[in-house]
Amino acid sequence: MNKRKIPQTVILGGGLAGLASAYELSRAGKKVTVLEKWEDVGGLARTIKVGRFAFDTGPHRWYTKSNMVNGWMLKLLGKEVINVPRLTRIYFDKKFFFYPIKLKNAMMGIGLIKAFRAVTDYIIARLKSRLFPSVLHTMEDGYISQFGKTLYETFFKRYSEKLWGTNCRNISIDWVGQRTRGLNFLTILKESVFKSKSVVSLVDEFSYPDRGVGRIADKMVDFVKKSKGEIKLESEVVTVNCGGGKIVSVVAREKGGEKVYKAEEFISSIPLNSLVESLKPSPPAAILKTAAKLKYRDELQVALFIKKTHITPDTWIYVHPKEIPFMRVMEMDNWSSRLSPAGTTTMVFEVACNEGDRVWKMKDEQVINMIADSFISEFNLIKKEDLIGGHVHRVPKEYPVYHLDYKEDVQILKDYLRQFSNLQIIGRNGTFRYNNMDHSIEMGLYAAWNIIKGERKWDVDSVNIEREYLEEKKIETVEDELLEENGRK
């Protein structure tokens, strides 16, 4: 049995990706150090507690196409997993529409004339792409090709522009592929006739930890700490020292001052541009210029605690009208009854913005009043006296913005980082890829396994690309074999 000494590892970022690496290395018996800038772990997938209320940082359903990742997650959470029926709708013109679109509901809701236009538009879009094939670049191109112009303008354009704060022509088509992969007018038609659920976006039940999505991070942290690993909170990596084709150490800003962490291996899940910008010696000016092109969309998450239950039947609702300040709202007691005290619920509203803009800088009280007034007047589901309180959570870097040539820019940065043989980059902002939780966890597992195995056997970069085009991977048992090899199973 090969009992290789597993190298000392420092992990940058304590979101799900970084924690998955820390968890696996701990399982293999290695003491790791995780450096996390915020006051808590979990990154974008946290459950925030305010008094007796708990709410998630945005709707987080667990769904994965990978049996390996699913099995890993179910083992981690054990009996805490519940199945939640999904109901998601779109709200505009004072009406609710099912999402993913259900043909009959959509066509009845938009009226006969528009419905006729939607069908003919879709046929025209398909014919055009057959007769005059061209390369599609933008989010608008993508949606029109999948759904036709009328359905795009009705169901996708307004929401997308509210989310991104820019015209759909300024965002790459890749975002459409990642968000509505496999979904188009024909799959919706097929789903309504045959009730087939082959497309991820159409799945109508999902797994969820009954005490909130934050349990995924908490469970990993408990294990890492039990295994004598370190989780350093409020520890912001500001400098990454490199030399001789390797990362030598990182410097983190902490309460007591700056601290240096040395290791043999480094895994980074911090934003790709931050990593490049913190390298010392500094990369060439052209690389720094490319890093500066990567942008993110930020968000306020506003929780209202309410003396009522099941105000809506939905897990979440997409809210299109421009004049309503929030773009999505979710109701926590439709996810789990354990998140709010009896007789109450929490509604969480997402307000897209840019860090430092007018909305971002509004006082918490102002934001809470703005959201409460808008929700009460537009939906008429609660009264002001039903409100118990509110809370505002500001989240920088929620969504990597896929500008039109982002792919080339990301590749330039990745190629530059490849010179550091003991560095692996993982995670959503870490790889600048629109990851879901399962993708980030999968990347984290691969990076850890590569270190445990002593060779770069698992390709982190293969995660969350068009799986349909990849050979099905047979990796269900690989992690256990690895741990056995290291004598830890």
Ligand X SMILES: Cc1cc2nc3c(=O)[nH]c(=O)nc-3n(C[C@H](O)[C@H](O)[C@H](O)COP(=O)(O)OP(=O)(O)OC[C@H]3O[C@@H](n4cnc5c(N)ncnc54)[C@H](O)[C@@H]3O)c2cc1C
Stretch that binds ligand X, among 9-17, 87-95, 158-166, 289-297 (CB under 6 A): 9-17
Does residue 37 belong to the site contacting ligand X (CB under 6 A)? Answer: yes
Choice between 122 and 420, CB closer to ligand X:
420
Backbone angles phi, psi at 342, to 5 degrees: -55, 140
Least distance (Å) from ligand X to the CB of residue 431? 8
Q: Alpha-carbon distance 202 to 101, whole Å?
A: 9
Choice between 34 and 115, CB closer to ligand X:
34
Residue 286 CB-density burial (10 A; 0-12 exposed, 13-18 middle, 19+ buried): exposed
Q: Which of 27, 30, 60, 297 binds ligand X (CB under 6 A)?
A: 60
Q: Which of 17, 183, 221, 382 binds ligand X (CB under 6 A)?
A: 17
Choice between 74 and 108, CB closer to ligand X:
74
Choice between 391 and 428, CB closer to ligand X:
428
Stretch that binds ligand X, among 194-202, 267-275, 341-349, 417-425 (CB under 6 A): 267-275
Choice between 461 and 485, CB closer to ligand X:
461
Query: 142 forms bridges with which residues in the sheet?
Result: none
Return the closest-CA partner of residue 452 out of 158, 21, 53.
21
Least distance (Å) from ligand X to the CB of residue 17? 3
Q: Which of 346, 440, 450, 464 binds ligand X (CB under 6 A)?
A: 440
Does residue 425 belong to the site contacting ligand X (CB under 6 A)? Answer: no
Give residues 373-402 in contact with ligand X (rule: CB under 6 A).
398
Give residues 205-244 in contact with ligand X (rule: CB under 6 A).
236-237
Pairing of strands 95-98, 236-243: unpaired
Choice between 150 and 278, CB closer to ligand X:
278
Q: Alpha-carbon distance 180 to 186, whole Å?
A: 13
Give the torsion sign (CA, 368, 158, 169, 467). positive
Q: Which string of DSSP letters, residue by residue, matches 402-435? A: -BTTHHHHHHHHHHHHTT-TTEEE-SHHHHT---
Does residue 100 belong to the site contacting ligand X (CB under 6 A)? Answer: no
Stretch that binds ligand X, among 1-9, 55-63, 183-191, 197-205 (CB under 6 A): 55-63
Angle (CA) 260 264 269, round 5°: 70
Collapse the DSSP code of 274 into the 3-class scheme (helix H, G, I; strand E, B; otherwise coil) and give the result.
helix
Residue 17 CB-density burial (10 A; 0-12 exposed, 13-18 middle, 19+ buried): buried
DSSP label of 43: T
Does residue 429 belong to the site contacting ligand X (CB under 6 A)? Answer: yes
Does residue 34 belong to the site contacting ligand X (CB under 6 A)? Answer: no
Choice between 122 and 449, CB closer to ligand X:
449
Collapse the DSSP code of 395 into the 3-class scheme (helix H, G, I; strand E, B; otherwise coil) and give the result.
strand
Choice between 145 and 435, CB closer to ligand X:
435
- Residue pair 162/324 in contact by the 8 Å Cβ criterion: no
Choice between 258 and 481, CB closer to ligand X:
258
Q: Alpha-carbon distance 406 to 279, whole Å?
A: 21
Q: Alpha-carbon distance 61 to 463, whole Å?
A: 19
Least distance (Å) from ligand X to the CB of residue 424? 13
Q: Which of 22, 45, 125, 168 binds ligand X (CB under 6 A)?
A: 45
Does residue 24 belong to the site contacting ligand X (CB under 6 A)? Answer: no
Q: Which of 26, 138, 274, 315 binds ligand X (CB under 6 A)?
A: 274
Q: How many residues bind ligand X (CB under 6 A)?
A: 34
Stretch that binds ligand X, among 39-47, 152-160, 223-231, 451-459 (CB under 6 A): 39-47
Does residue 346 belong to the site contacting ligand X (CB under 6 A)? Answer: no
Does residue 250 belong to the site contacting ligand X (CB under 6 A)? Answer: no
> In the block, which residue shows the tokens 């505009």?
92
Does residue 18 belong to the site contacting ligand X (CB under 6 A)? Answer: yes
Which amino acid, one-letter code, is at 201? S
Does residue 141 belong to the site contacting ligand X (CB under 6 A)? Answer: no
Q: Alpha-carbon distance 436 to 427, whole Å?
A: 9
Return the closest-CA partner of residue 417 out of 398, 430, 404.
430
Choice between 148 and 430, CB closer to ligand X:
430
Least distance (Å) from ligand X to the CB of residue 169? 24
Give residues 154-173 in contact with ligand X (rule: CB under 6 A).
none
Does residue 270 belong to the site contacting ligand X (CB under 6 A)? Answer: yes
Q: In sequence order, what E strands does 68-209 have?
A: 81-85, 88-92, 95-98, 205-209
Which tokens hold the place of 336? 């789990």
Cβ contacts of 488 within 8 Å, gap of 6 or more: 27, 28, 29
Stretch that binds ligand X, among 40-48, 190-198, 354-362, 458-466 (CB under 6 A): 40-48
Specify the length of the chain in residues.
489
Give contact residues for ligand X (rule: CB under 6 A).
12-18, 35-38, 43-45, 58-61, 236-237, 269-271, 274, 398, 427-430, 435-438, 440
